[in-house]
Amino acid sequence: MKTILRTVLCALSVSVLSARVSSLTGEEIVHQWNRLVIEVIMEDGFGPPVAARIHSYANLAGYQAAYHADKSYTSMVGQLNGFASCPSPSADSVYDWRVSAAAAYQIACSKLLYRIVYSDSLAKVHFDVLAKEVPEDVFRRSKDFGVAVGKAINAYAKADGYTRTQGLPEFEWPRCDSCWIPTPPNFARPLSPYCGQVRTIVLKSASEFPVPPSIKYSTEKGSEFYKAAVEVMTIKNTLTAEQKAIADFWNDNPVLTNYHGHFIYNSRQISPGGHWMNIAEQVMIQEKTPMVRSMEVYSMLAFALFDGFTACWQEKFRGNLIRPVSYINSYIDKTWEPLLQTPPFPEHASGHSTITAAAAEVLTHHFGDVAFVDSTEVPFGWPARSFANFRVAAMEASVSRLYGGIHYRRGCDAGNEHGKLIGQAVINRVNLKR
C-alpha cells in the first residue's frame, strides 16, 4: 500500500510543482533532484550499496555541470578514482548553470534509475520554468552542456565494475558453524554479495582501511562470543520505550516484508544512505546553503556512503559471520526473535555503523556541531528526533542495530571505527575549493 501511495504522491508533487512554480533558485533545483532520487530509489527497491552508488553519480553529474556558477570551486577531475576528464564550458559564452545542472541530473538518472518517467517529469518542470526567464540561445547552450556532462558521468559510472557484478553467477555462501545463513522471516538469499568488488570512488581500494576484527567465534557457554549473543538477546527482551523508538527510527530497511496471517506484502522504506542524504537536505535548508555548496555537500556525503558500503560489503562477505538470530536460535533459545527484521547479508561489520560514522564526519566538516531535528521517518509513522550534532546521531544509529537485535555490539563498534576513517579520507582527498 505504501509503495502505491508514494508513487501517486510523487506524480502529484510534480504536477503541483509545474502549476505553482514561477521561478527556481539553483539550490531548489539541487534539493528537488536529490529528493526525487531518494523517492525513486525507494520505489525501485535498490539495496543500500546500490542506492549509495546512485546518489554519488547523480550528484557528481550535477556538480560538474554547475560548479562554474561559483568561481571559488574547481572540478573533481583527477580527484576521484578513474575520473580523468569531463566536458568544460566555452570560456567566452554565457550559461545558466541551473539549466546545466537540471540537464546533467536528468541524463545521469536516466541510466541510474529504473523509473525514469519521474526524472523526465521533473526535468520538464524545471526546463519549462527556466525557459521562460533564460534567453533561448543561453538555455539551449546550457542544456547541451549539461547533457554532455551527464553522458560523461554515465560513461565514468559504467566503468566502475558494477555492471559486471550483475552478470556474475548466483552467490553461494560458505557453509560452516560460524558462517552466515539465510535468516527469518524471509530466509532470503544474500543481498548485493558482489558490491564489495565495485571500484571505490575516493578510497584507494575497498580494503584500504582494515576493519577491526569480530570476536573469536565459539559456541561454548561463557565464551566472549556466547556472551555477545546473550547481550543481544537480553537487551531485546528488556527494551525500554526509548530504546525501541531508537531501533524503529533508524530501521531503514528498504524492502520490509509484512505478515498478516496468510497475507504477505512488501512495503518500502528509505535506505540508510537516503536517510543521511535527507538529513543533509534538512540542514542545508535550515542553513540556507547556496547551490554549488549544496552540490559539494551532497557529493562528498554520497561518496562517503558509497565507499563506506563498498568497503563494508567486502568485509561482510570476506568474513561471512553468523547473525545473532541464527546463533541464538541454534544455541540459546530456538524461539527468540529480534525486534527488527534481520537484513539478508552477513554480520560483521555493521553497515549502519560504518556509513553513519562516515556521514557524520563529512557533515561535521561542512557544518560543525550544529544541532538539528531529523524528520526523515515522519512519513513512515515515527516522530522526529532532535540531535545535538551529527556524531551524536551517528552513534544513536549505530547502537540502534543492537537494540533491534540484528547486530552484536562488536559489529557496531567496528563499523564506527571503520566509518570514521572513510569519512576522514573523503574530507582529506576531495578538495573542491580553489
Cβ pair 299, 196 in contact under 8 A? no
Q: Which secondary-structure segment (H or E) carries 396?
A: helix 390-403
Instruction: Report the pLDDT value the prediction gives residue 15, as an integer from 0 to 100.
Output: 43
**Domain with 7 in it:** 2-164
Task: Tell whether 434 is covered by a domain.
Answer: no
Pair 208, 160 in one domain = no
* pLDDT under 50: residue ranges of the chain: 1-9, 11-12, 14-20
Pair 386, 305 in one domain = yes
Pair 227, 334 in one domain = yes
Sign of the C-alpha dihedral, residues 412, 417, 420, 422? Answer: negative
* Residue 128: DSSP 8-state: H
Q: Quick one: which of 271, 200, 145, 91 has its CA closest to 430?
A: 200
Q: What is the DSSP string of 299-357?
A: HHHHHHHHHHHHHHHHHHHHH-BPPHHHHHHHHT-TT---SSPPPSS--SS-HHHHHHH
The domain spanning residue 420 has which CATH number? 1.10.606.20
Pair 154, 185 in one domain = no
Pair 196, 155 in one domain = no
Pair 393, 327 in one domain = yes
Task: Tell whether 386 is covered by a domain.
Answer: yes
Pair 151, 179 in one domain = no
Instruction: Report the pLDDT value the prediction gives residue 258, as an integer from 0 to 100.
Output: 67
Asked which of 164, 192, 226 is the last residue of a domain, the reply is 164
Task: Tell whether 160 is covered by a domain.
Answer: yes
Pair 260, 362 in one domain = yes
Asked which of 164, 183, 213 is the last residue of a domain, the reply is 164
Q: Which secondary-structure segment (H or E) carries 374?
A: strand 372-374
258 vs 264: CA distance, rounded Å:
6
258 vs 324: CA distance, rounded Å:
21
Domains of the chain: total:
2
Cβ pair 118, 14 in contact under 8 A? yes
Q: How many CA atoms lie within 13 A of 193 on its CB side?
A: 20
Q: Quick one: which of 312, 285, 311 has its CA closest to 298?
A: 285
Instruction: Report the pLDDT value the prediction gives residue 3, as an integer from 0 to 100.
Output: 44
Q: Are strands 263-268 and 372-374 parallel, antiparallel or unpaired?
A: unpaired
Cβ pair 406, 340 in contact under 8 A? yes
Instruction: Report the pLDDT value the prediction gives residue 267, as an integer from 0 to 100.
Output: 73
Pair 188, 311 in one domain = yes
Asked which of 109, 130, 164 is the last residue of a domain, the reply is 164
Cβ pair 102, 29 in contact under 8 A? yes
Pair 124, 196 in one domain = no
Pair 343, 369 in one domain = yes
Q: What is the DSSP string of 239-291?
A: --HHHHHHHHHT---SEEEEEETTEEEEEE---HHHHHHHHHHHHHHHHT--H
Task: Tell whether 46 is covered by a domain.
Answer: yes
Pair 183, 156 in one domain = no
Instruction: Report the pLDDT value the prediction gives residue 423, as an integer from 0 to 100.
Output: 98
Cβ pair 271, 46 in contact under 8 A? yes
Radius of gyration of the chain (CA): 22
**% helix, strand, coil for the chain, step of 5:** 60, 5, 35
Task: Tell whether 198 is covered by a domain.
Answer: yes
Instruction: Report the pLDDT value the prediction gives residue 262, as an integer from 0 to 100.
Output: 65
